[in-house]
Amino acid sequence: MNPDTKKRYDVDLATTEAGTPGGIFMRQFWIAVYDSADLPAGRAKPIRIMGEDYVIFRTQSGVAQVTARRCPHRGAPMHLGWVEGEEIRCVYHGWKFDCSGRCTEQPAEEPGYNEKVRIRTYPTGEHMGLVFAYFGEGDAPHFPPFPEPEGEGVIEVRPSTEAPCNYLQCFENSMDEVHVAFTHAPGGTHAKIAQDLPIITAEETDWGMMRYGRRKTGEVRHTLHYAPNAVRVFVPPMFGMGGVGGWPELILIFTPVDDHNCRWFATSKVHVSGAEAQTYWAKRREMEASAGEFRPVMDVVNDMWSGNLVYEDVRHPQLARVQDIAVQAGQGRIADRENEFLGRSDAGIVAWRRILLRELRAIANGQPQKKWATPSPDVKPVMGA
């Protein structure tokens, strides 16, 4: 770019590093940090969120808790330690902490010194099979951050995947329905919503943004974009499911790992019950058994990027995810928003950027920010197909 050319964006939309407008913005919300099923009782794991390292552990009674990564004594990584009952003990010199951050034991110290020491802990909660944490200042907002979709059905979490790019281009893609007709054409999973190209409109709500896709038939698809990084949408059955289970309501969350990587968390309500639910899980198991023969998502994506694998030849149990990551992370670690040609079909992206820009500028200038509401259970997506 010519250095004299005026920049389109005067604040960094993509960063979520601590202390930046984007980082302050994101830290007002609950952030998805872990798949609940991957955190058994008694285990501690390291996690990286928005460029910072933390530890998550699950107590013996089953409570998930996020803490600072390092022990306040001399900085050993806390996840090396042991979970003891409802507490975690550092492996270096045995200091022990409870879920509120209180130091409850220091085996080699004078009694009472422990009262001077705390480890930072972060409000932590679980909803629909995902662990969320709040990293901001002050009290956390309402939990859960979004309602569980109503109606009969089962909650199914699709294992999280790390994508080698900034979260914002993935969140923006969630607003881009036109990509479906092209990106997801091979494999045929999305054929039903790819017959024609919808006209996209979007409007801000008190919890985020609503996006509409109007088709030639007059049908309108409604998609919810929960601030700051989640989409709730009806999606076609996964590749290999043969349509069993119908269209699940998917909530896909793009958590920044740092500015150059993000993790996709996906939970869903599959609207099946009784005998139908049995058939669904049997079909899922069958599909998963065959999934063992398939390769990790990023291995396949790397072969697509290098040109060794032709895009339309790819078959994979997580085909839509492979296709999405190939194009979205293929835009670069951080998509170049200064050099683009946004069009009519990018209306959802344009609308969200306008909201994000307004909020980040308010933070940068010390002006009041929007007070975000928790979405009501009454606002639901519409399949529109």
By beta-carbon proximity to ligand FES, the closer residue of 106 and 160 is 106
Best CA proximity match to 15, nearest among 167, 163, 174:
167
Q: How many CA atoms lie within 13 A of 326 on its CB side?
A: 26
By beta-carbon proximity to Fe ion, the closer residue of 87 and 177 is 177
Nearest distance, CB of residue 2 and Fe ion, angstroms: 34
Residue 138 has a CB neighbour count (10 Å cut-off) of 7
Nearest distance, CB of residue 98 and Fe ion, angstroms: 43
By beta-carbon proximity to Fe ion, the closer residue of 135 and 234 is 234
Contact 172, 13 (CB under 8 A): no
Using the structure block, give the residue that is written with the tokens 């697509």: 304
Nearest distance, CB of residue 107 and ligand FES, angstroms: 9
82 binds, among ligand FES, Fe ion, none (CB under 5 to 8 A by kind): none
Cα–Cα distance for residue pair 295/291, rounded to 1 Å = 8
The interface region with Fe ion, picked from 39-47, 93-101, 299-307, 321-329 by CB under 5 A, is 321-329
Contact 178, 193 (CB under 8 A): no
Nearest distance, CB of residue 105 and ligand FES, angstroms: 10
Cβ neighbours of residue 105 closer than 8 Å, sequence gap 6 or more: 89, 94, 95, 96, 114
Residue 292 has a CB neighbour count (10 Å cut-off) of 7
Cα–Cα distance for residue pair 283/241, rounded to 1 Å = 7
| Single residue of 79, 324, 329, 385 touching Fe ion by CB under 5 A | 324
SS (H, E, C) 311-336: HHHCCCCCHHHHHHHHHHHHHCCCCC
93 binds, among ligand FES, Fe ion, none (CB under 5 to 8 A by kind): ligand FES
Nearest distance, CB of residue 71 and ligand FES, angstroms: 3
**259 is a site residue for Fe ion (CB under 5 A):** no
334 binds, among Fe ion, ligand FES, none (CB under 5 to 8 A by kind): none
Cα–Cα distance for residue pair 210/373, rounded to 1 Å = 14
354 binds, among ligand FES, Fe ion, none (CB under 5 to 8 A by kind): none
90 binds, among ligand FES, Fe ion, none (CB under 5 to 8 A by kind): ligand FES
- φ/ψ of 304, rounded to 5, equals -70, -45
Nearest distance, CB of residue 324 and Fe ion, angstroms: 4
The residue type at 39: L
Nearest distance, CB of residue 134 and ligand FES, angstroms: 25
By beta-carbon proximity to ligand FES, the closer residue of 103 and 320 is 103
Angle at which helix 319-328 crosses helix 297-306, to 10 degrees, equals: 50
The interface region with Fe ion, picked from 222-230, 277-285, 301-309, 318-326 by CB under 5 A, is 318-326
Q: How many CA atoms lie within 13 A of 162 on its CB side?
A: 14
By beta-carbon proximity to Fe ion, the closer residue of 35 and 324 is 324
Nearest distance, CB of residue 124 and ligand FES, angstroms: 21
324 binds, among Fe ion, ligand FES, none (CB under 5 to 8 A by kind): Fe ion
Q: Which residue is nearest to Fe ion (CB)?
A: 324
Residues contributing to the site for ligand FES (CB under 6 A) = 71, 73-74, 76, 90, 92-95
Cα–Cα distance for residue pair 211/203, rounded to 1 Å = 7
92 binds, among ligand FES, Fe ion, none (CB under 5 to 8 A by kind): ligand FES
Residue 344 has a CB neighbour count (10 Å cut-off) of 9
Nearest distance, CB of residue 106 and ligand FES, angstroms: 8
Tokens representing 316 are: 């994979």
Using the structure block, give the residue that is written with the tokens 């194009």: 327
The interface region with Fe ion, picked from 229-237, 282-290, 317-325, 330-338 by CB under 5 A, is 317-325
45 binds, among Fe ion, ligand FES, none (CB under 5 to 8 A by kind): none
Contact 194, 358 (CB under 8 A): no
Which residues contribute to the site for Fe ion (CB under 5 A)? 324
